[in-house]
Amino acid sequence: MCGIVGYIGKQQAAEIILEGLEKLEYRGYDSAGMAVYDGEKVNIAKAMGRLQVLKEVTHGGATVPGHLGIGHTRWATHGEPSDVNAHPHTNKNGTIAVVHNGIIENYISLKKKLKNKGYTFKSETDTEVIPQLLDYYYNGNPLETISKVIQRIEGSYSLGIIFADHPDEIYAARKSSPLIVAKNDEGCFIASDATALLRYTRNVYYIGEEEIAVLKADDVHFYDSDAEEIEKPVTEIKWDANAAEKGGYEYFMLKEIYEEPKTVRDTLNPRIRDNKVVIDELNMTDDEIKAIGKIHIVACGSAYHTGVTARYVLEGMARIPVEVDIASEFRYRDPLLDPSDLVIVISQSGETADTKAAVEEAHRKGCQVLAIVNVVGSSIAREADKVMYTWAGPEISVATTKAYSAQLIALYLIALKFASARGTISDDQLASYIHDLRKLPQQIELLLGEKEKIQKFANRYTAAKDVFFIGRGIDYAISLEGSLKLKEISYVHSEAYAAGELKHGTISLIEEGTLVVALVTQKDLYDKTISNIREVKARGAFVMAVTNVDNPDIEKVADYSVYIPETDQFFTNSLAVIPLQLFGYYVSLGKGFDVDHPRNLAKSVTVE
């Protein structure tokens, strides 16, 4: 959930580390630090707060010279944000320094053992047991020592490690937490995310589960957990480096909202050929698709919301039963899975810990797993049986926008492919659906052209205390995402409800002036949702409605209306979510918050 950058080579390490950590700020953090070897000793610099504080403390890295170092931005899990709890952590003599992403689940028992051996601890973190354990087992051979230690720690970790008496090497290891290695003519690097390294190289190595990397200034070697050397393929990162920059926008979030039309095109166009849906990466015959007994969609956060939409679309088009699970609950309810079931997991980063655990659960029960992910070579992509990439490019803002839109498109395509294979839609229906999908990018652009209207409305509600989103069917799924966007970046209490549930308790919360955002895009449900709007209006609510262009009657009941272009009812989420993303953005902006870095949140949730 935080960032790691390490460097060994010809350049000053601190400058490269600080620059790399800056690229990873979007991941969320509350403190930062680095360890640099200056030729005689390992120097540590740490600071609570934004990375800028660490830059100022070290004068841009000038006070920690050296050509070998590791850096870290921490998101607190064990122990409050503080200089002491910030990484790196060291052994008692300061000769071993460690940065760590993840959680060591058995740290309490390890800490007790080490205390009994005379070791003392300065911090409240789980991480500090690692350098102490390395110290305890150290035999002069770092590789053998690390191999012994990772076999004794439980949980998730990506590690960057330096040993003072091996000043020409950096060590890295990982389990269930992302870490990559790269090299160029100037040196070798480790990082949590490729965005930290795009300036230097596009060729990276992905470290596998419980594997170790040894980096020198001009080479890198990989080993398994038994310290046996292994070979690694190089993966080329094909993102445009400029995609990881703001490009003149004030915030990444707005830039990424404006990239949604391109993202939809890039995800859609290569998979439509001769007016048919062709998803080569599925590698499934029509008979195999017909044999699917049930689909389980598993995801977290916004990705879960795309799954809720997909349930309506898949069941409606392909007539396959679909269950949708929050990934953090999936394995703990001991789900009833049959080998004929298909499990679809969705994750932007491909590193989401709970979603990764769902892949393992599905495999334990004999199911095939299809992953919809954005990051090539990510853990979930490697572990799933089939992978469908969304090709959204790097998404930097913590609040997802374009990745959400790309996931919707991927799920629409899967629904159409399955429906066509199972014969539940005709060729004419398929052609009509494809026609509507192809129009979506231009229609999103039209909605973006009206952003000033959303901005003016949002400015009226920057002081809102409670906002409720309501809808029926797919509109309920849209409500879930609209509510999340508002609460996560503007800190306004917001809830989404299936509109029919209002009378079962929630309507008691509606009072004079309460803002209710009503989604009304499902034509068969217009009358029922309008009835719900009247219910909240009667109790003093102010209603913003998001509806179709052919529903002007909404103005008779709603106080403010936003219209989306005409499309098939299965695809309305792709359009209706745009004004809701903009609404959340402008409320946050109006309240003066850092839109890209909402408090307490991280971009990639790599721990449970």
Domain of residue 442, CATH code: 3.40.50.10490
Residue with tokens 């539940």: 424
Is there a single domain that holds both residue 203 and residue 75? yes
Residue 231 has a pLDDT of 93
Is there a single domain that holds both residue 382 and residue 250? yes
Residue 70 has a pLDDT of 97
Over the stretch 456-478, which tens digit does the pLDDT of each residue have? Answer: 999 988 888 889 999 999 999 99
Is there a single domain that holds both residue 35 and residue 127? yes
Q: Are 536 and 495 in contact (CB under 8 A)?
A: no
255 catalytic per annotation: no
Residue with tokens 């990745």: 403
Tell me the DSSP string of 78-105: SS-S-TTTSSPEE-TTS-EEEEEEEEET
Integer Cα distance of 150 and 133 in angstroms: 10
Integer Cα distance of 532 and 432 in angstroms: 32
Distinct helix (H) and strand (E) counts, the chain: 18, 27
456 catalytic per annotation: no
Is there a single domain that holds both residue 194 and residue 314? no
* AA letter at 227: A
Is there a single domain that holds both residue 311 and residue 389? yes
Integer Cα distance of 17 and 499 in angstroms: 50
Asked if pLDDT for residue 363 goes beyond 90, the answer is yes
Q: Measured in Å, how far apart are the chain's first and last C-alpha atoms?
A: 10
Asked if pLDDT for residue 599 goes beyond 80, the answer is no
Residue 600 has a pLDDT of 65
Under the banding of pLDDT at 50, 70 and 90, the label for residue 27 is low
Is there a single domain that holds both residue 477 and residue 580? yes
Measured at the CA of 270, the angle between CA 266 and CA 276, to 5 degrees, comes to 130
Identify the top-confidence range among 29-33, 76-80, 405-409, 464-468.
Answer: 405-409
* AA letter at 580: L
Average pLDDT, the chain: 91
Residue 242 has a pLDDT of 60
Over the stretch 228-275, which tens digit does the pLDDT of each residue have? Answer: 999 999 888 876 656 666 767 888 899 999 999 999 999 999 999 999
- Domain-located, residue 397: yes
Is there a single domain that holds both residue 211 and residue 296? no
* AA letter at 328: S
Mean pLDDT over 537-565 rounds to 90
Asked if pLDDT for residue 157 goes beyond 80, the answer is yes
Over the stretch 286-316, which tens digit does the pLDDT of each residue have? Answer: 999 999 999 999 999 999 999 999 999 999 9
Q: Compute φ and ψ for 387, nearest 5 degrees.
A: -130, 130
Task: Name which of 437-441, 452-456, 576-580 the model is least confident about.
Answer: 452-456
Q: CB under 8 Å to 549, separation ≥6 — which residues?
A: 563, 564, 565, 566
Under the banding of pLDDT at 50, 70 and 90, the label for residue 597 is confident
- Domain-located, residue 527: yes
Integer Cα distance of 43 and 65 in angstroms: 9
Q: CB under 8 Å to 175, separation ≥6 — which residues?
A: 102, 150, 155, 156, 157, 158, 209, 210
Burial of 144 (0-12, 13-18, 19+ CB in 10 A): middle
Where do the DSSP E strands lie in 22-78?
31-37, 42-48, 68-74
Q: Are 311 and 322 in contact (CB under 8 A)?
A: yes
Asked if pLDDT for residue 604 goes beyond 60, the answer is no
Is there a single domain that holds both residue 433 and residue 498? no
Is there a single domain that holds both residue 170 and residue 319? no
Task: Name which of 60-69, 237-246, 305-314, 327-336 the model is least confident about.
Answer: 237-246
Bridge-based pairing of strands 89-90 and 96-104 is: antiparallel
Task: Name which of 25-34, 120-129, 280-289 the model is least confident about.
Answer: 25-34
Integer Cα distance of 161 and 144 in angstroms: 13
- Domain-located, residue 333: yes
- Domain-located, residue 603: no
Residue 596 has a pLDDT of 84
Of 479, 542, 486, the closest CA to residue 514 belongs to 542
Residue 351 has a pLDDT of 85
Bridge-based pairing of strands 203-206 and 235-236 is: antiparallel
Identify the top-confidence range among 353-357, 518-522, 604-608.
Answer: 518-522
Where do the DSSP E strands lie in 445-492?
466-471
Residue 244 has a pLDDT of 62
Integer Cα distance of 517 and 464 in angstroms: 13
- DSSP character for 1? -
- Domain-located, residue 607: no
- Domain-located, residue 91: yes
Residue 240 has a pLDDT of 62
Residue 394 has a pLDDT of 82
Mean pLDDT over 54-74 rounds to 94
Residue 602 has a pLDDT of 57
Task: Name which of 218-232, 452-466, 567-581 the model is least confident about.
Answer: 452-466
| Phi/psi-derived region of residue 540, left when phi > 0, alpha when psi is between -120 and 50, beta in every other case | left
- Of 175, 402, 485, 603, which is the active-site residue? 603
- Domain-located, residue 535: yes
Integer Cα distance of 442 and 574 in angstroms: 12
* AA letter at 481: E
Asked if pLDDT for residue 326 goes beyond 60, the answer is yes
Asked if pLDDT for residue 158 goes beyond 70, the answer is yes
- DSSP character for 67? S
Is there a single domain that holds both residue 216 and residue 258? no
Domain boundary among 215, 237, 259: 237
Is there a single domain that holds both residue 224 and residue 373? no
Tokens representing 331 are 């394995």
Tokens representing 171 are 């060590």
Strand partners, 230: 222
Under the banding of pLDDT at 50, 70 and 90, the label for residue 78 is confident
Q: Are 215 and 172 in contact (CB under 8 A)?
A: yes
Is there a single domain that holds both residue 156 and residue 22? yes
Domain boundary among 408, 430, 449: 449
> Bigger pLDDT: 509 or 164?
164
Domain extent at residue 328: 241-449
Domain boundary among 381, 416, 449: 449
Mean pLDDT over 3-31 rounds to 89
- Domain-located, residue 608: no
Integer Cα distance of 521 and 27 in angstroms: 34
Q: CB under 8 Å to 475, separation ≥6 — which residues?
A: 499, 519, 520, 521, 522, 525, 529, 572, 576
Q: 206 vs 179, 194, 326, CA distance in Å?
A: 7, 10, 27
Q: Which CATH number is 34's domain given?
A: 3.60.20.10
Asked if pLDDT for residue 608 goes beyond 60, the answer is no
Tell me the DSSP string of 521-578: --GGGHHHHHHHHHHHHTTT-EEEEEEETT-GGGGGT-SEEEEE----GGGTHHHHHH
How many distinct structural domains can be found in the chain? Answer: 3
Bridge-based pairing of strands 466-471 and 515-520 is: parallel
Q: Are 44 and 94 in contact (CB under 8 A)?
A: yes
Q: Are 444 and 436 in contact (CB under 8 A)?
A: no
Mean pLDDT over 404-430 rounds to 97
Task: Name which of 26-30, 163-167, 306-310 the model is least confident about.
Answer: 26-30
- Of 2, 188, 300, 367, which is the active-site residue? 2
Mean pLDDT over 362-378 rounds to 91
Q: 146 vs 140, 232, 355, CA distance in Å?
A: 11, 19, 28
Residue 504 has a pLDDT of 78
Q: What percentage of the chain carries pLDDT values higher than 70?
A: 97
